Structure 1
Amino acid sequence: MSKVLNEIDYKNIFKYFEEISEIPRGSGNMQAISDYLVSFAKEHNLEYIQDEFLNVIMIKEATSGYENAPAVIIQGHMDMVCEKDSSSNHDFEKEGLELVIDGDYIRANGTTLGGDDGVAVAYALAILSDDTLKHPRLEVVITTDEETGMDGAIGLDTSPLKAKYMLNIDSEDEGVILCSSAGGLNGTVTLPLQYEDVTDGNQALKITVKGLKGGHSGAEIHKNRTNASIMLGRILMKLGKTKEFALSDIFGGTKHNAITREAVATIVVASNLVDDVKSEIETISSEIIDELTTSEPDAKVEVVACNDKAAKAFTKDCKDKIIYMLVTAPYGVLVMSSDIEGLVESSVNMGILRIVNDAVEFNYSVRSSLNSYKHFVSDKLELLAKSIGANYLMDSEYPAWEYKKESKFRELLADVFKKQYNREPEVTAIHAGLECGIISEKMEDIDIVSIGPDMADIHTPKERLCISSTKRVYDYVVAVLEAIK
């Protein structure tokens, strides 16, 4: 693979970013990227641990004069969210990313970039490979499967770690120091399906909702972005008021932590009513799209006749229950924080809608700064599931990262920031989940902050990483390490 980033490389950051971008590293596909990190550690004579979860810890001892300084963890995750345009044939299991330099940004051709959290890995490797830097003992902790439930962090053994400070590099806004994040859980509603035969004289129609922005279901849930699966449910609900149809297939979204950009349903109607049904769908869709002119300017709904005849469809009872779940389950921002202006306190996103083993699954990502409210939302989903005869499973729960009123590390980062940028940083919290909460529970006295360079549209194929910001934040991290005495 050609080295696209050579021309912009800075202190080896983009060299390492490109190397990890050549390795397929979607969540659940961690072996190759984990082994790459081990090879790096061996090449640079670093002490390392690769555990059963494929987490990798790399340790570099303090430089001269820093032997008595508090050790610091540099932490991020090696997996990425794999999303692509509908026109892309990219195979995330086998192929590296096709990187593109676009002005002051790096993006990938038709896919997510993996700047979340490849930039943390690139920073860590650049720092570990540079023997000219001054720093205390460094404990680089790169975890696995953060994007699908933080399994790596949950399984991480922190007993080999001596650090008093931890710098998490998994944020997307330069100049912002994060000191708290939401906890979360996944909730899956599973509705068993029953089928009925489709008689002759019918036509299958495929309805596709597309062109929505999508985005991170935590960091961008407050941006009034429409969930394609829920929009599709709304169309089907309204259509059912005036037209008879059967539902034979439905799906939308592939990641629980991404706002769904596209959703598809296949319906079956009487052949002599095809034009009437298509016209009705277009009318319903136009009304909804008019509502979204500002928030979702590229929203589209397509209706096409299917060449293949549907042999069976869901029973009317199943169809009604699916639509009911789509339009009545909670979605989006539920509660705003009373303590921090502009911060989402609790939210829920339905990220995956799919048919599996003759059942339809609705997968929800629930986030909240309050453990009690997080479980209230989960209980509400369970209640809805029971009301339609579906099953409910809660899993992948992770804790909130609670705010510390006293933080020497936060004060140090603010002081270094003011010297480098000649202004005050913004110190705040984030609604997205971070591994900081899990690690802070394992290491009771650890003092943690989270930072990162500017990124946009993460968890979507429009994801991009700002080149100039990446350089500045790297220099900032190096200055922070040098200031720890």
Structure 2
Amino acid sequence: MTALSQLQPQALWQWFEQICAIPHPSKHEQALSEHIQAWAKDKQLELVEDKVGNLIIKKPATPGMENRKVVALQAHIDMVPQKNSDKTHDFEKDAIEPFIDGEWVKATGTTLGADNGIGMASALAILGSDDIPHGPLEVLLTIDEEAGMTGAFGLEAGYLNADILINTDSEQEGEIYMGCAGGVDGQISVPMVWQAPEQSHSTYTLTLSGLKGGHSGVNIHLGRGNANKLLARFLFNHADELALELTNFTGGSLRNAIPREASVSFMLPAENITKLDALAKEFQALVREELAIADPDMVLELLEAPAAKQVMSEDAQNMLIDLLNACPNGVIRMSDEVEGVTETSLNVGVISTEAESVEVLCLIRSLIDSGRQEIETVLTSLTNLAGAEIQFSGAYPGWKPDNSSPVMALVRETYDSIYNKEPVIMVIHAGLECGLFKKPYPEMDMVSIGPTIRYPHSPDEKVLIETVDQYYKLLLAVLERIPEKG
């Protein structure tokens, strides 16, 4: 066995190794789903795959606990596919390469998938156990959480009998989550007019990299650099004086990850190349100084590129640069009700240059619907002024906190009894699926817990080993203490 599968709890880590070995990025979870289904059938567990691809696996109560309330353990099957630029990795074909680094488990050059692979592994370990006491148990594994919550949106009434749902997608041991942000995608289309370049110009690509990135909800308050916004800022300040003619703008890869890299290609007069190089070095030094604590390692690299056949018209280029520079990004408002938690945020996540437009994909998050709607109006006004278009899609509700939740009280009391300290009751600025589950299952009592995961949605993702055991012990103790049905 490898070192990872020797960690405690062993059954959980063995499952996590299997999960890492089978590619499962968002929208490509089928191989892992089939592996789990084959295992469940071999274990003779009751198994259903619903219309959208969610898995529901049921296990009878251990003897003497048949009259306990039914509990559903919930995790999502997919993971965020992010890698460093120097890492060769096909997320649809290649296994994740986890390794132990001191107190942490990390992956080699990619996201680890501890979000939500550890939670999934814990649920499967419990399903496979013969010595863990629990009442009637259901495990819900949803698809496509990271790229649209397709599984949560598609879950229908009638599949689950659970009175209680324990979501395993939180990322801080010692915190109990009882609410989360809702969100919506905004896609801005900036129309492009193309024209022939001047043949005497030289073609270059300016690439911005070295940023930390991270989860666009959990990490948004940390003040990290957004590669798309920083590159737009450079262009706003210097495109005219350098006589740049843009041919391409590309940045970010996921709307729910803070963009770590972006690049812009352009033509410019040969006599301006030296000045461009100097300005890029000045801008790099300036940003490194500004982000010296939050994100100190930004790099601007200038490389020659093949000659371009067409460039953006002056009006189209100005529209794009002005819109990107003016677009809000990051924390919009902190919560008045929950100290230290972001209420509303915006992530300018992905920019791609198409034949007829430049597409800008943003993700708005808010704990309150009115906060989300306000930013929708801001972006709509901005695009109206710019002569661009915007469409909103995939809106999902937040999970409204319930201070009277019996399961939240049970988890809090259980944690206190095990660790002799009060856990922190929290609301998370991220999209947990619980808010969507409330539609088909409005009476279900819900709570979210998990181990400590740092830098999810980035290649720096890591999980703190000791907290996996702490989280698992809490989960098992809660299952043992679930009350009987009234």
- Alignment TM-score > 0.5, same fold: yes
**Percentage of pairs with the same residue:** 35
Query: What is the count of residue pairs matched by the alignment?
Result: 483
Q: Structure 2 vs 1, CA of residues 313 and 241 (structure 1 numbering), >3 Å: closer, same or farther?
A: closer
In structure 2, runs of 5+ residues without a counterpart are none
- Asked whether the equivalents of residues 239 and 284 of structure 1 are also in contact (C-alpha less than 8 Å), the reply is no
Aligned residue in 1 for 2:173: 174
C-alpha RMSD of matched pairs (Å): 1.3
Match of 2:344 in 1: 346
Once residues 47 and 64 of structure 1 are traced to their aligned partners in structure 2, the CA distance between those partners, rounded to angstroms, is 18
Report the more deviating stretch, 272-281 or 60-69: 272-281
Is it true that 1:480 corresponds to 2:478 in the alignment? yes
Alpha-carbon distance in structure 1 between the residues aligned to 2:178 and 2:473: 21
The aligned residue for residue 95 of structure 2 is 96
Offset, 1:305: 2.3
Q: Which residue is equivalent to 2:233?
A: 234
Paired position in structure 1 for 2:376 = 378
Report whether the alignment pairs 1:388 with 2:407: no
**Counterpart residue number, 1:465:** 463
Asked whether the equivalents of residues 212 and 299 of structure 1 are also in contact (C-alpha less than 8 Å), the reply is yes
Q: Over residues 209-263 of structure 1, what are the superposed CA-to-partner deviations in whole Å (9 max), with x where a residue is unaligned?
A: 1111111000110011110000000001111352211111111111000000011
Q: How does 1:19-34 map to 2 (within 5 A)?
A: 19-34=18-33
The 3-state SS of whatever aligns with 2:429 is strand
Matched residue, 1:454: 452
Does 2:252 align with 1:253? Answer: yes
Q: Which amino acid aligns with 2:113?
A: G
Which residue number corresponds to residue 122 of structure 1?
121
- Paired residue for 1:363? 361
Answering whether residue 47 of structure 2 is matched by residue 48 of structure 1, we say: yes
Amino acid at match of 1:262: E
Conserved in 2, the CA contact under 8 Å of 1:193 and 1:360? Answer: yes
C-alpha spacing 1:320/1:4, structure 2 compared with 1 (3 Å): farther
Contact 1:27/1:146 (8 A) holds in 2: yes
Contact 1:9 1:15 in 2 (8 A): no
The residue type equivalent to 2:286 in the other structure is E
* Residues 239 and 281 in structure 1, CA contact (< 8 A), matched pair in contact too: no
- SS of the equivalent of 1:452 reads coil
Per-residue Cα deviation, 1:265-284 (whole angstroms, up to 9, x for no partner): 11211112211222223223
Which aligned pairs between 1:90-239 and structure 2 lie closer than 5 A?
90-239=89-238
Do the aligned residues in 2 keep the contact of 1:27 with 1:79 (CA within 8 Å)?
yes
Counterpart Cα distance in 2 of 1:425 and 1:434: 20
Q: Is the 8 A contact 2:56 2:159 kept in 1?
A: no
Offset of 1:479 from its aligned partner? 0.8
For 1:22-80, what per-residue CA distance to the aligned partner results, in whole angstroms no more than 9, with x for missing partners?
Answer: 11111111211221221121011111111231110100111112111110110010101
- Please tell me whether the aligned partners of residues 149 and 397 of structure 1 are also in contact (alpha carbons under 8 angstroms): no
Q: Are the counterparts in 2 of residues 84 and 461 from structure 1 also a CA contact under 8 Å?
A: yes
> 1: CA distance between counterparts of 2:384 and 2:42?
55
C-alpha distance in 2 between matches for 1:220 and 1:283: 27
* Among 425, 428, 439, the residue aligned to 1:427: 425
Unaligned runs of 5+ in 1: none
SS of the residue aligned with 1:215? coil
Q: Secondary structure at the match of 2:409?
A: helix
Contact preservation (8 Å) 2:24, 2:78: yes
Q: Flag as ranges the 4+ runs of structure 1 deviating above 4 A.
A: none
Work out whether residues 284 and 298 of structure 2, in 8 Å CA contact, stay in contact via their aligned partners in 1.
no
Q: Distance between the aligned counterparts of 2:293 and 2:162, measured in 1?
A: 47
Q: Secondary structure of the equivalent of 1:28?
A: coil
Distance in 2 of aligned mates of 1:441 and 1:341: 28
Amino acid at match of 2:462: R
- TM-score (ref. length: structure 2): 0.97
TM-score (norm 1): 0.97
Tell me if the contact between 2:224 and 2:291 (Cα under 8 Å) persists in the aligned partners.
Answer: no
Contact 2:191 2:356 in 1 (8 A): yes
| Contact 1:3–1:18 (Cα < 8 Å) also in 2 | no
CA–CA distance in structure 2, aligned partners of residues 166 and 281 of structure 1: 52
Cα deviation, residue 3, structure 1: 4.3
The equivalences for 1:403-414 within 5 A come to 403-414=401-412
